[in-house]
């Protein structure tokens, strides 16, 4: 059986690693012949995600398709949906590509985002600010990732930096207690999920995912997330990110693919998000994953990449290098998983080694 993966970044690489353990073949489609997944996949088809002839090549060589890259255009999505076996469908991806669609769908399926308004121009923004108040966050509706396309508005003067060259939204800036995410996998029989992780960011980019503590609110979040997935009619893998403030939780965004906040599961869970996705794609029975113990995942960006060797050959520490050939500012280059480590111990032992010690 061959799994075709649209995208060959680190997520594609880790899907391919999980598939390989079970002796499935993998082929990825990526513009870069030396992409991360090329180090693991059996074949790389070099081309754009929106090139129908390349999608056709991938589809015809694969028994099942999945995606690790979110911005495939509507034409490409329709083409694969109509011609190939993509068990997750393309609807979750289509919804997640646009923040307005994504938040509208969240509300329709029982989740609550922070207050937001559509914004096309300065006039809309002023009207939205009058309703939402300060501080607020302007985000482009499409193509945002790792905090790109976001502007924090603390006062009227801050709106001058916004280019208004695309559709945007204004949302209330929430002084949350913490952020967390859940990763679920659903087949026709049931939904299974990984334990909820608490996520700490630096400069709008995920820095740490912390797992092990089960807070009382997590039961409610899990219940609402399962119900969301059923109401939305989604199958396959889905990550939902939340903000938590007091006893309330707010939908931030969703990703219908493996998620950075689930990397910890490779070592910290009996089954990782990648193992579960592979089981889903190959129609194996979905088993319940179990937490092994306190686990922390630390993202390594370009700025800290040279420090990676410090963590080599240490018990309970696992390095995942993405083999990227170019260091760009704040690019995710690798991650490290620490098993049997609590957040307090992490801060004491390791946090000071890295750039920008403070979490948001």
**Residue 96 binding ligand ADP, by CB under 6 A:** no
**Residue 124 binding ligand ADP, by CB under 6 A:** no
Cβ closest to ligand ADP, residue 124 vs residue 253: 253
**CB neighbour burial string for 187-215, b if at least 16 within 10 angstroms, e if fewer:** beeebbbbbbbbbbebeebbbbbbbbeee
The structure tokens listed for 282 are: 């190959």
**Residue 331 binding ligand ADP, by CB under 6 A:** no
Stretch in the footprint of ligand ADP (CB under 6 A) among 51-59, 166-174, 265-273, 309-317: 166-174
**Residue 240 binding ligand ADP, by CB under 6 A:** no
Closest distance to ligand ADP from the beta carbon of 136 (Å):
8
Closest distance to ligand ADP from the beta carbon of 179 (Å):
5
Cβ closest to ligand ADP, residue 180 vs residue 276: 180
**Residue 153 binding ligand ADP, by CB under 6 A:** no
Judged on CB neighbours under 10 Å (0-12, 13-18, 19+), 108 is: exposed
Cβ closest to ligand ADP, residue 207 vs residue 275: 207
Among 70, 144, 248, 317, binds ligand ADP (CB under 6 A): 144
Nearest CA to 180 among 217, 150, 135, 144?
Answer: 217
User: Per-residue string for binding with ligand ADP, 16-35, x by CB under 6 A?
Assistant: --------------------
Among 147, 308, 323, 359, binds ligand ADP (CB under 6 A): 147
CA angle (151, 157, 161) in 5-degree steps: 40
Cβ closest to ligand ADP, residue 173 vs residue 323: 173
- Residue 221 CA to residue 204 CA, distance in Å, equals 23
Cβ closest to ligand ADP, residue 201 vs residue 292: 201
Contacts with 315 (C-beta within 8 Å, 6 or more apart), sequence order: none
Q: What radius of gyration, in Å, describes the C-alpha atoms of the chain? A: 20
Among 14, 132, 137, 334, binds ligand ADP (CB under 6 A): 137
Q: Is 249 helix (H, G, I), strand (E, B) or coil?
A: strand
Written as one string, the DSSP assignment of 42-58 is SEEEES-TT-HHHHHHH
| Three-state helix/strand/coil letters over 142-188 | CCCCCCCCEEEECCHHHHHHCCCCCCEEEEECCCCCEEEEEEEEECC
Cβ closest to ligand ADP, residue 147 vs residue 293: 147
**Residue 253 binding ligand ADP, by CB under 6 A:** yes
Q: Is 295 helix (H, G, I), strand (E, B) or coil?
A: strand
**Residue 115 binding ligand ADP, by CB under 6 A:** no
Binding residues for ligand ADP (CB under 6 A): 114, 137, 144-147, 171-174, 179, 201, 204, 241, 252-253, 360
């Amino acid at each position: 059986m061959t799994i075709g993966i649209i995208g060959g970044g680190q997520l594609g690489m880790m899907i391919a690693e999980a598939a390989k353990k079970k002796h499935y073949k993998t082929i990825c489609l990526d513009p870069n012949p030396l992409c991360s997944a090329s180090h693991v996949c059996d074949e790389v088809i070099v081309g754009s995600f929106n090139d129908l002839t390349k999608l056709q090549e991938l589809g015809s060589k694969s028994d099942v398709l999945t995606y690790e890259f979110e911005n495939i255009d509507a034409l490409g999505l329709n083409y694969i949906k109509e011609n190939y076996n993509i068990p997750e469908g393309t609807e979750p991806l289509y919804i997640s590509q646009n923040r307005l669609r994504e938040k509208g769908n969240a509300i329709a399926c029982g989740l609550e985002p922070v207050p937001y308004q559509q914004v096309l121009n300065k006039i809309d923004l002023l009207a939205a600010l009058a309703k939402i108040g300060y501080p607020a966050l302007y985000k482009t509706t499409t193509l945002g990732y790792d905090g790109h396309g976001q502007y924090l508005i603390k006062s009227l003067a801050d709106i001058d930096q916004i280019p208004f060259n695309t559709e945007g939204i204004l949302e209330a800036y929430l002084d949350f207690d913490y952020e967390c995410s859940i990763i679920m996998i659903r087949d026709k029989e049931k939904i299974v999920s990984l334990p909820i992780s608490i996520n700490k960011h630096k400069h709008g980019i995920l820095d740490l995912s912390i797992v092990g503590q089960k807070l009382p609110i997590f039961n409610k979040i899990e219940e609402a997330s399962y119900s969301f997935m059923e109401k939305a009619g989604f199958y396959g893998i889905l990550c939902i990110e939340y903000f938590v403030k007091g006893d309330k939780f707010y939908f931030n965004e969703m990703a219908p693919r493996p998620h950075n906040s689930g990397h910890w599961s490779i070592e910290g869970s009996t089954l990782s998000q990648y193992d579960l996705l592979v089981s889903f794609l190959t129609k194996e029975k979905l088993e319940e994953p179990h937490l092994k113990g306190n686990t922390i995942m630390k993202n390594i960006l370009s700025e800290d990449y040279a420090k990676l060797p410090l963590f080599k050959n240490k018990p309970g520490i696992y390095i995942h290098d993405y083999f990227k050939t170019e260091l760009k500012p704040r690019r995710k280059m690798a991650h490290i998983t620490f098993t049997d480590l609590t957040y307090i111990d992490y801060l004491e032992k390791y946090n000071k080694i890295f750039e920008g010690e403070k979490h948001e």
